[in-house]
């Protein structure tokens, strides 16, 4: 099992550009989430999903879109990048509400 994979590992964008952060898991987990982590800070939930076709907003959803067309994939789209979106982005998945959450290695995004 590859676990949770994220691409790219690093990305630099200019203000106003759009891009998609990819996330995939091969553990057949129903729950998937996207978090952002700013330097020295905790994890803030952007969007999450409890199954294919079901998504919901977290604490900081503005400027981001998600979709969940398959169990395996949960891409995060930045619509129009802003410097405030400079952060490390983690994708995570787990089997159910009470189960351990597995994290991807993170994507370090810089918006100039």
Partner 1 sequence: AQKITQTQPGMFVQEKEAVTLDCTYDTSDPSYGLFWYKQPSSGEMIFLIYQGSYDQQNATEGRYSLNFQKARKSANLVISASQLGDSAMYFCAIPKTGGTSYGKLTFGQGTILTVHP
Residues within the interface to partner 1 (CB under 8 A) = 31, 33, 35, 41-45, 48-50, 56, 58-59, 88, 90, 92, 94, 97-98, 100-103, 105-106
Tell me how far apart the alpha carbons of residues 92 and 33 are, in angstroms, rounded to a whole number: 5
Tell me how far apart the alpha carbons of residues 52 and 110 are, in angstroms, rounded to a whole number: 30
Minimum distance of partner 1 from residue 80's CB (angstroms): 26
Residue number with CB closer to partner 1 (16 or 26): 26
Minimum distance of partner 1 from residue 38's CB (angstroms): 11
Residue number with CB closer to partner 1 (24 or 92): 92
Tell me how far apart the alpha carbons of residues 27 and 88 are, in angstroms, rounded to a whole number: 23
């Amino acid at each position: 099992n590859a676990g949770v994979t994220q691409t790219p590992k690093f990305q630099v964008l200019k203000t106003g550009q759009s891009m998609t952060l990819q996330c995939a898991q091969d553990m057949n987990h129903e729950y998937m989430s996207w978090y952002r982590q700013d330097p020295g800070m905790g994890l803030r939930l952007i969007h999450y999903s409890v199954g294919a076709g079901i998504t919901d907003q977290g604490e900081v959803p503005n400027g981001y879109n998600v979709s969940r067309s398959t169990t395996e994939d949960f891409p995060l789209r930045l619509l129009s990048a802003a410097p405030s979106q400079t952060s490390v982005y983690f994708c995570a998945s787990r089997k159910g509400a009470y189960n351990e959450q597995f994290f991807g290695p993170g994507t370090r995004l810089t918006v100039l």
